[in-house]
Amino acid sequence: MLQRGDFPVLDFDDDPDDLVLGNPPRDPVPGLFPERAVIAFLGETVDEFASRRGAPVIHTEVTINGTHPYWRIDTGSGPVVLVRAHLGAPMAVLLADPLFRCGVKEAVAVGSCGALHHFEEGEWLVPARALRDEGTSHRYLPPSRWVELDPELTARCVAVIRERDLAVATVDVWTTDAILRETRAMVQARRAEGCSVVDMECAALAASARMHKVRFGQILFSADSLAGDEHDPRGWGRSSHELALELALEAVAR
């Protein structure tokens, strides 16, 4: 039933049958995907990894941005579906939602984040909850300030990183739609609320997963920094991409 909020972004309808994909979905078909998934914001690293593994494509989404393959990765613990995700909550959920409807029961997303505190580039961070400062999550869950990630899967992500003798921190993440509106006052306010890092997808993916009763966790690594008086792009965390993908696959395959 449609519930009206004070602003359009706060309107919420709990009807699971949307007009575009449908419930049950028309394409892809239910049960197409393995039960575990990695949603990777790692650019060409994802394509190169799938190519080296000779991974078969089990589904393709076509959008105005191009074609988006979903690869089957065989691990010692069974198959995992891998998709290369794209920047921003709407596009990320456009690619993740079919997974959640069509067989996936657990998913780990992996990608970079901006540091709101003085993290060095390439530090490992696992979000426990995300501040919903974007629009997409509000189409999947009723209005609230935060959305929690799955505690067990979060703990598993932390354990996998620590087993590599890497330092890791559990954090709260600010998910925003507007990377070019991260003002000094807004950054300060988000820090005061408890956010250590900023991204553009976590809250939306967590909300979509929760609506579809999928367990969801995420692994982040620090890239650029908003901790000082000026933005510092550093190396955008590129040197962490390959290891990040390994960690996500290991976490979800357990």
How do residues 38-91 score in pLDDT, each as one tens digit? 999 999 999 999 999 999 999 999 999 999 999 999 999 999 999 999 999 999
pLDDT digits (tens, 9 = 90+) for 88-137: 999 999 999 999 999 999 999 999 999 999 999 999 999 999 999 999 99
H/E stretch holding 211 reads: helix 202-211
The rounded mean pLDDT for the chain is 96
Asked if residue 73 lies in contact with residue 80, where contact means CB atoms within 8 angstroms, the answer is yes
For 209, residues 6+ apart whose C-beta sits below 8 A from its C-beta are 96, 100, 107, 150, 215, 216
**The token pair that represents 212 in the structure block:** 């579809």
CATH architecture of the domain with residue range 31-253 = 3-Layer(aba) Sandwich (3.40)
User: Could you give the percent of the chain with pLDDT greater than 70?
Assistant: 100
Asked if pLDDT for residue 26 goes beyond 80, the answer is: no
pLDDT of residue 31: 85
| Torsion 22-27-29-32 (CA) sign | negative
Arithmetic mean of pLDDT, 227-251? 97
Chain centre to alpha carbon of residue 119: 20
The pTM of the full predicted model, rounded to 2 decimals, is 0.96
Identify the band that residue 25 occupies on the pLDDT scale cut at 50, 70 and 90.
confident
pLDDT digits (tens, 9 = 90+) for 131-176: 999 999 999 999 999 999 999 999 999 999 999 999 999 999 999 9
pLDDT of residue 24: 78
Arithmetic mean of pLDDT, 28-35? 90
